[in-house]
Structure 1
Amino acid sequence: MRVLILGAAAGGGLPQWNCGCPNCVSARSGDIEPQSQSSVAVSADGESWVVLNASPDIRTQLLAAEPLYPGAIRGTPVSAVVLTNGDIDHIAGLLILREKTAFDVYATGEILGVLSENAVFGVLDPDHVVQKKMRIGKTFEPAEGLSITPYNVPGKVPLYQEKGDVDTALISENTIGLEVKANGKTMQYVPGCAMLTKTIKERFASSDQLLFDGTVWQNDEMKTTSTGIKTGRRMGHIPISGDDGSLAQLADVQGPAKTYIHINNTNPIWNPKSPERRALKDAGWSIAYDGMEIVL
């Protein structure tokens, strides 16, 4: 299985257009490599590719990924796009892919409802772009030799659907993980997760590669960096650090190579000289970056 990290950052990318936090300043000056918004491409044969989440940066990401170049006057090696939730940073890129080239869109019923309720997604011509409903726990094959099984992870509804009190660790079709298999190898892709469960950890342990939610280092990171007021958990993301953070909770999961993805612009792990980056390295984790390739 070939895995291309098209984008490694959380919503807004690094730097964010309106942010002057230390990481964004360093990204503008070249001290930290800029990163686009979270998206991944996977393939069983290097010929047919499936994109996991279509970020708003998808055009630039496809231009930077030679294996995804068109092989004809009109066409694409991308056979499908698979969505893990309805967040803007995961669905807005579909609007860029409107040029009447055939591919399938796989999503849960909840997320397909988001697309159907918003008229702007009508630019995806149904004669070319077929929307297909994923069912939790049911395996499908979006490309030859590549199978995907969606499963529930705790999360919340997209920001634009929030009303009143929000259940940030809801078990529903709004937030899912993907188990991707090809040629005897297994990858878990979970760019958003509010809470880890025994079942999820057991699934991770039997895999070869884990791409997991690394949005914030500490729960109150937005407040301490003066960039916002919401905690990581309020945004539906488990923080990396702390006794109940993902780093500690996944320490006993020894099966897969472990990589953080969907990393917020404020997260100190972006700084290669930070103690937080060293802590991840010492714990056996790597950090996704734009253009990274993983071969399983």
Structure 2
Amino acid sequence: MKVIVLGSAAGGGFPQWNCNCPNCNGIRKGTIQARARTQSSIAVSENGDDWLLINASPDILAQIRATPELQPERGIRDTGICAVLLMDAQIDHITGLLMLREGKPLPLYCTPSVWDDLSNGMPVAKVLSHYCGVTWHPVTPVKALGNEPRIQIPGLANISITALDLKSKAPPYSPHRDNPQVGDNIGLLIENTSTGRKLFYAPGLGQIEPHINSAMSSADCVLVDGTLWTQDEMIRLGLSKKTSADMGHLPQSGPGGMIETLDALGARRKILIHINNSNPILDENSNEAAVLRRHDIEVAFDGMEITL
């Protein structure tokens, strides 16, 4: 199983178009050592030709251009994207669907909650019905591992996916923003059934519930929320009045933070993704980046490849 990180930043990308925080200003002026990043998305394949796109970033066209594997050139019109799986209905994870409108009908996997948002709150599905159209495949998230339903994608015969419910909020535009539904946000346990190796993926992770800890503990690689370094990061920089918890993200530092959580998992590959433009770990020479290296925690970048 091959996984390609198409985009590794949080919403807005890095640098963000209207931001002059120390990171965004520093990368523009060349005063910090950092890589530009597009908004988070990954692609998963078994054979290297057929790819499951997980989340459709607004940057999808640039990501496809940067990833030759997604254009196998088997016909005059072709794509390596065989299906799309959405983990939530956030704008930075769904608007890329509109950029795929010139193709065949899109097989789209998502929870009923997300499908409701795509049909009503922000009716991307209705818009696409006038172009390529989408075929919805319902996803059922679970709260425990055992005999849970698995997602099987045609073209990925030896890849099995379990959707895990996460505590979160629907997007601000959603009719049920203030009435959380099961499936507003999910994590994924992705298994290569031919090798038994697993990836746990959750770019938006605000709380480590028991079933999430079990999934992370069973995985050979965890690719998880690296949005913010501290709980008050956005407030301190004058970028927002919201804490990390308010935004549904577990910060890296502090008691119960992501570093402490990942340390408790022991020996396995640990990678942070969905990095906000304000996070000091983007500066590769920062003290915070050095802390991650001491804890054997990697920071995802666009084009990173993971083989399981």
Give TM-score, length-normalised by structure 1: 0.93
Structure 2 CA distance for partners of 1:128 and 1:162, relative to 1, 3 Å: closer
Q: Could you tell me how far 1:154 is from its partner in structure 2?
A: 1.7
> Which of 65, 88, 93 is 1:63 aligned to?
65
Tell me the number of residue pairs that the alignment of Structure 1 and Structure 2 aligns: 293
2:190 is aligned with 1:180: yes
Say if 1:171 and 1:283 are closer, same or farther in 2 by CA, change over 3 A: farther
Shift of 1:128: 5.2
Separation in 2, partners of 1:6, 1:81: 14
Give 1:153 shift: 1.6
Task: Write the letter of the residue equivalent to 2:36.
Answer: P
Equivalences for residues 100-119 of structure 1 within 5 A: 100-117=103-120, 118-119=122-123
Q: Is the contact between residue 95 and residue 121 of structure 1 (CA under 8 Å) also seen in structure 2?
A: no
Aligned twin of 1:5: 5
User: Following the alignment from structure 1 to structure 2, what is the Cα–Cα distance between the partners of residues 22 and 35?
Assistant: 16
The one-letter code sitting in structure 1 at the alignment partner of 2:213 is: K
Letter in 2 for 1:134: V
Tell me by how many angstroms 1:67 deviates: 0.4
**Where does structure 2 lack aligned partners over 5 or more consecutive residues?**
142-147
Q: Aligned partners of 1:163, 1:178: CA distance in 2, in Å? A: 23
Q: Which residue of 2 aligns with 1:40?
A: 42
Contact 1:78–1:103 under 8 Å retained in 2: no
Aligned to 1:77: 80
In 1, Cα distance between the equivalents of 2:214 and 2:114? 26
Q: Once the 2 structures are TM-superposed, how far is the Cα of residue 248 of structure 1 from its aligned partner? A: 1.0
CA distance in structure 1 between the partners assigned to 2:151 and 2:124 by the alignment: 27
Displacement of 1:123 after TM fit? 3.5
Contact 1:75 1:101 in 2 (8 A): no
Give yes or no for contact 1:7–1:289 (8 Å, CA) kept in 2.
yes
- 2:170, 2:176 within 8 Å by CA — same for their partners in 1? no
- Measure, in 1, the Cα distance between the counterparts of 2:37 and 2:175: 28
One-letter amino acid of the counterpart of residue 20, structure 1: N
Which deviates more from structure 2 when the two are superposed, residues 115-124 or residues 280-289? 115-124
Q: Give the match for residue 133 of structure 1.
A: 138
Tell me: CA distance 1:128–1:119, structure 2 relative to 1, closer, same or farther (3 Å): closer
What is the one-letter code of the residue matched to 2:125? F
Corresponding letter in the other structure for 2:35 = E
Q: 8 Å contact 2:125–2:133 — kept in the other structure?
A: no
AA in 2 matched with 1:187: L
Contact 2:113–2:181 at 8 Å: present in 1 too? no
Residues 207 and 255, structure 1, Cα contact 8 Å, conserved in 2: no
CA separation of 1:40 and 1:285: change in aligned 2, threshold 3 A: same
**Conserved 8 A contact 1:154-1:194:** yes
Specify which of 122, 125, 128 is matched with residue 124 of structure 1. Answer: 128
